[in-house]
Amino acid sequence: MEFTQEQKLYAEIVQKAWEDAEFKKELVANPVATIEKFIGKKLNLPEGKTLVVRDQTDESVVYINIPAAKQLEDAELNAEQLESVAGGLQTIAIWPPISVVPKWPPIICFPPGPEPELF
């Protein structure tokens, strides 16, 4: 699986925040300016969007993120999603063979594409 530039940048920012307490403090206080300074160019946020960074490193706290509700009746599949639906699932090889069933639960793998809704 290849990571996008955005995913790589996100990983670099998180790593830097883990390693540098001052960077993390600045990132939480002023995320846009801190990220722009880190990447050396202007951050291109969509108009009307705000970037919020929360420090969730306190292991004694459980955080729940409540995403925006989706209006499913207005949802449309893009070309890639339509192709995936039309083409069906890809073949997935299972190893070890089914005759050798491990005692732990199996790992479920999905074909490439958007992550499935699990809940």
For the chain, which residues make up each domain, given as ranges? 5-39
pLDDT recorded at residue 53: 93
Both tokens assigned to 33: 């300016």
Confirm whether pTM is higher than 0.85: no
Residues with Cβ within 8 Å of 1's Cβ and at least 6 positions away in sequence, in order, are: 112
pLDDT of residue 19: 95
**34: how many CB neighbours lie within 10 A of its CB?**
22
Which residues make Cβ contacts (< 8 Å) with residue 16, sequence separation at least 6?
A: 23, 38
pLDDT at 3: 81
